[in-house]
Amino acid sequence: MQSNQKQYLWWQDGIIYQVYPRSYQDTNGDGVGDLRGVIQRLDYLKWLGIKAIWLSPIYPSPMADFGYDISDYRGIWPAFGSMADFDELLQAVHAAGMKIILDLVPNHSSDEHPWFLESRSSRDNPKRDWYIWKDAKADGSPPNNWLSVFGGSAWDWDEKTGQYYYHAFLVKQPDLNWRNPEVEKAILDVMRFWLDKGVDGFRVDAMWHMVKDLQWRDNPRNPDYKDWMGTYEQLLPVYSTDQPEMHGIVAQMRKVLDQYDQRLMIAEIYLPVHRLVAYYGVQEKEAHLPFNFMLISLPWDSRQIAAAIDEYEGVLAQDDQPNWVIGNHDQPRITSRVGAGQAKVAAMLLLTLRGTPTIYYGDEIGMRDVPIPPHEVRDPQGLNMPGKNLSRDPERTPMQWDDSINAGFTQGEPWLRLDRAFRRHNVKAEKSSDISSLHLYKKLIELRQQEPSLMTGAYRPVYSDHQLIAYIRQAEGQPGFLVVLNLTHRPCYFTPTTIRFTGVIVIDTLPEQEEVSVKDTINLFGDEGMVVKLDDWQSVSSNPPHELPVLP
């Protein structure tokens, strides 16, 4: 019998999990995680139920920005292992039915990359134009006012050749010149190199930075700048990012991927939603998943979040695949941002919204940001802008596996200190607790992957107020699921006026509530979120007012 059910690709119905290799599992005692460590932990990832592993950069690098400064796009950083280790990892991941996504960093290389060494060697070197070189202004100052994301000017003076070069990030991360077709060809070849090996896609770093204004105009001042912000925020990056020419380049990258079978392009882009969705391209000819960071960027406020979800759902074209993120290696961890109770509600939101979720390693066990004493700070963003609490080290600490020495991460001295509470918060302990964060993630993932309604079903907003968000997920011909989330610590009532329903709570952040039947209204504790399997529901134009308790 022919089925007319839509077929979904692996990245449309699967879950992505980000591994920061430095911090995942060390196997050789040098205090730094490695590829063999990821191989060792594949059983865990398989058990958790994720589909794809995104590895932050694994390439040779001076590690000025922990791998986002690449000195060889086709190799493996020796401390992470060898190419043979990578091949073994890839093979093991595929044998387990999973996928691997690599980080691709096309906006800049390391200043130690042979391309840049050549480029800076003389003004007439054939690779001079592979990077962005400009003369000083008459007074010797940089060509324009652009700032580096990591502090200070984005221009660095090269004494030998008497010009400035542009670096959106560190001095040690010169930007490639994407207006030069040779650069485009070189990076597309790098993509082919890894795709030929069998990697399943890329997470493209800093995509919105890749092309710059042709006239190099000054960026305007940001009227909303406050002292506590990173110095980069002083200007609005109007001319240094998100230039229209970018879309042609992404389309070229996509063409390369499309020459292979089911390969994925995720794009790191921090932009307002209407500009973000432009990166899907017309008829989905650009990135498959422009990362949607709104759950990271917005205040944890139910009305703002509900409105943002609806806006995002509203601006997506029919075939654009939504996606959601609540944490990554650049942002404070969700547990530290909203608290442990709310982090569970956030997990429920992440795993029940329509679209592909990406989980940041350790968030599933509720890992917190770890305070790193000033003399141990490693992150250049923290080092370059001290006193602003901008270091990203706190969210990059070693994975907490068990209660043994260094949480089972390393037998050596860990590159970054661990959370002292690791003896309580670790995978092993949480696996055996049915009230743990890990237990909740596992249940949510299992349910999502079993139920077409939650995996790929339509999203229908039901209700939101200053505490609550509620929506229904339903696929055609399948039972619907009502998700009700209290985004505050205080109790509240869910009394929707637009639907009537009966159902059973199948997952709750407070497990005592599970298996309870509910009808039309629900009382929620603070920090409570629930997934209700609906027996029946209907829209009503206006429900009779619910009976609320009358105070004496």
Residues tagged active-site: 205, 268
Binding mask 67-96 toward ligand NOJ (x if CB under 6 A, else -) reads -x----------------------------
> Bridge partners of 518?
503
Hey, what's the torsion of the CAs at 311, 327, 362, 459, to 10 degrees?
10
State how far the alpha carbon of 373 is from the alpha carbons of 149, 228, 391, 421, 474, in Å.
23, 19, 11, 17, 48
Give, as one character, the DSSP assignment of residue 391: -
38 binds ligand NOJ (CB under 6 A): no
Scanning residues 206 to 235, which ones bind ligand NOJ (CB under 6 A)?
206
Report which residue's Cβ sits closest to ligand NOJ: 68
To ligand NOJ, the closest distance from the beta carbon of 245 in angstroms equals 20
Distance of CA 332 to the CA centre of its chain: 12
105 binds ligand NOJ (CB under 6 A): yes
To ligand NOJ, the closest distance from the beta carbon of 103 in angstroms equals 8
Closest to ligand NOJ by CB, 150 or 501: 150
Distance CA 118, CA 246 (A): 26
Considering only 200, 205, 242, 527, the residue that binds ligand NOJ (CB under 6 A) is: 205
To ligand NOJ, the closest distance from the beta carbon of 108 in angstroms equals 7
Short-list 417, 266, 261, CA closest to 328: 266
Closest to ligand NOJ by CB, 64 or 470: 64
Distance CA 71, CA 2 (A): 52
Scanning residues 109 to 128, which ones bind ligand NOJ (CB under 6 A)?
none
Site residue total, ligand NOJ (CB under 6 A): 9
Q: What are phi and psi of 533, to 5 degrees?
A: -80, 120
Closest to ligand NOJ by CB, 295 or 305: 295
Q: Letter for the amino acid at 467?
A: Q
Residue linked to tokens 């696929």: 475
> Bridge partners of 147?
153
To ligand NOJ, the closest distance from the beta carbon of 383 in angstroms equals 13
Distance CA 279, CA 266 (A): 10
To ligand NOJ, the closest distance from the beta carbon of 382 in angstroms equals 11
Cβ–Cβ < 8 Å for 175, 211: no
Distance CA 465, CA 486 (A): 10
Closest to ligand NOJ by CB, 168 or 470: 168
154 binds ligand NOJ (CB under 6 A): no
To ligand NOJ, the closest distance from the beta carbon of 281 in angstroms equals 22
To ligand NOJ, the closest distance from the beta carbon of 62 in angstroms equals 13
Scanning residues 486 to 505, which ones bind ligand NOJ (CB under 6 A)?
none
DSSP line for 406-469: GGGS-SS--SSPPPGGGGTSSHHHHHT-TTSHHHHHHHHHHHHHH-HHHHH-EEEEEEE-SSEE
65 binds ligand NOJ (CB under 6 A): yes
Binding mask 459-488 toward ligand NOJ (x if CB under 6 A, else -) reads ------------------------------
Scanning residues 159 to 198, which ones bind ligand NOJ (CB under 6 A)?
169
To ligand NOJ, the closest distance from the beta carbon of 206 in angstroms equals 4
Scanning residues 239 to 268, which ones bind ligand NOJ (CB under 6 A)?
268
To ligand NOJ, the closest distance from the beta carbon of 209 in angstroms equals 8
Distance CA 47, CA 225 (A): 45
Closest to ligand NOJ by CB, 311 or 330: 330
Closest to ligand NOJ by CB, 206 or 305: 206
Closest to ligand NOJ by CB, 330 or 514: 330
To ligand NOJ, the closest distance from the beta carbon of 337 in angstroms equals 17
Neighbours of 486 (CB within 10 A): 27
Considering only 330, 465, 514, 520, the residue that binds ligand NOJ (CB under 6 A) is: 330
Closest to ligand NOJ by CB, 144 or 381: 381
DSSP line for 258-284: HTSSS-EEEE-----HHHHGGGG-GGG
Long-range contacts of 419-423 (CB under 8 A, 24+ apart): 419/367, 419/368, 419/370, 421/368
Closest to ligand NOJ by CB, 113 or 329: 329
Closest to ligand NOJ by CB, 34 or 175: 175
Cβ–Cβ < 8 Å for 361, 401: no
Distance CA 399, CA 363 (A): 10
Cβ–Cβ < 8 Å for 426, 452: no
Distance CA 270, CA 218 (A): 20
Binding site for ligand NOJ (CB under 6 A): 65, 68, 105, 169, 205-206, 268, 329-330
